[in-house]
Amino acid sequence: MAPGTFMAGERTHKSDEHYRSTKRRLWLGIILGLVLVAAEAVFGIITGSLALLTDAAHNTADILAVGLSLFAVYMMAREPTERRTYGFGRVGILTALANSVGLVVLACILGYEAVRRLQHVEPVSGYAVFVVALVALVINTVVALTLFSHRHDLNVKSAFLHMVMDAAVSLGVLAAGIVIILTDWYYADPVAALLISVFIVYAAWGIIKEATDVLLESVPRGIDASAVQAAVESIPGVEAVHHLHIWELGSGVYAMSGHVEVEDQRVSQCSGMMEEIDRMLKDEFNIIHPTIQIECATACPTAPPAPAPEEDGSG
């Protein structure tokens, strides 16, 4: 079997449709994001609103993030190669990590600018802030809803989180615009930017932790290693399981390796048991890449015992 044949054979009509749907949704996010950034940048410069410029900068970073996610989708669809026998699933994990780290850096920069603006507050047009923020809220909400059904994929989840945060950011800017209109309290603009920055860091940190767990080959969240061991040991013919390792190859693609102890028997007699283990792991735990080493539960003799010495009948 050529390297990668197994993974290539897993492609189904359902996965192909998921791939096309994900691409369409990410492209929609990029196009709408470009329109939004242009509007926020223009009105932010005209009105002098830091909140609008902050949101425009944030949305620019999000467009790059969604672009990275789209690139990852294309890469993850590539067939495995002789060198990369598991395929390119972790490109999406690396992209999610890069997106989230970029968000944290951007939030720190914007937070610094917000603190600086608090010390030297400037008047802004509350009506312009309100209108642009309202448009941004609608656009970001629409894009987030289009990605909602694909959020189980960590790569798409990072893009979805970007859109959710964008909607929350727009809501904060909207609130700042209302406050300025009603009270002329211009501090609402940098305060909104500062709160947005804190929220961005908080939301991005969860994806950073999750992506790091995948890269460190930790047991995936939602899978209990002891439950997997118990399930395998419940298969008829299995005596015990040890050296069990479970990790994630890419978003939602799990692999496992382990040593399974059985009674001393021919290898051909283990075929039915192995098929049952594979089926159970896939159906109950979504582990589609199990690697199992069969071992004899009892010490197998390596040589026949030496014959007992014959008794001397002359005695």
Q: What is the pLDDT of residues 90-100, one digit of tens each?
A: 777 887 788 78
Q: Which of 150-164, 192-206, 240-254 has the highest mean pLDDT?
A: 240-254
**C-alpha–C-alpha distance, residues 312 and 124, integer Å:** 115
User: For position 11, what pLDDT does the model report?
Assistant: 46
pLDDT top residue among 140 and 234: 234
Taking residues 51-58, report their average pLDDT: 71
Lowest-pLDDT range of 21-25, 126-130, 229-233, 301-305: 301-305
User: For position 9, what pLDDT does the model report?
Assistant: 40
Give the tens place of pLDDT for each residue, 184-204.
Answer: 888 887 888 788 788 778 877
Q: Does residue 81 carry a pLDDT above 90?
A: no
Q: Does residue 301 carry a pLDDT above 60?
A: no
Model confidence at 51, pLDDT cuts 50, 70, 90, reads low
Residue 62 near residue 222 (C-beta atoms within 8 A): no
CATH 1.20.1510.10 location in the chain? 13-215
CATH 3.30.70.1350 location in the chain? 225-296
Model confidence at 247, pLDDT cuts 50, 70, 90, reads very high
Which residue in 149, 169, 130, 125 sits closest to 33, CA to CA?
169
CATH number of 225-296: 3.30.70.1350
- Token pair in block for residue 114: 């917000």
Q: Does residue 228 carry a pLDDT above 50?
A: yes
Placement of tokens 């600018």 in the chain: 113
Task: Supply φ then ψ for residue 215, to 5 degrees.
Answer: -65, -30
- Cβ partners under 8 Å of residue 60, min gap 6: 37
Q: Does residue 231 carry a pLDDT above 90?
A: yes
User: For position 288, what pLDDT does the model report?
Assistant: 85
User: For position 311, what pLDDT does the model report?
Assistant: 57
Return the CATH superfamily for domain 13-215.
Cation efflux protein transmembrane domain (1.20.1510.10)
Task: Supply φ then ψ for residue 12, to 5 degrees.
Answer: -125, 170
Which residue in 110, 132, 140 sits closest to 177, CA to CA?
132
- Token pair in block for residue 111: 């937070």
pTM for the full predicted model: 0.63
Model confidence at 152, pLDDT cuts 50, 70, 90, reads low
User: For position 32, what pLDDT does the model report?
Assistant: 80
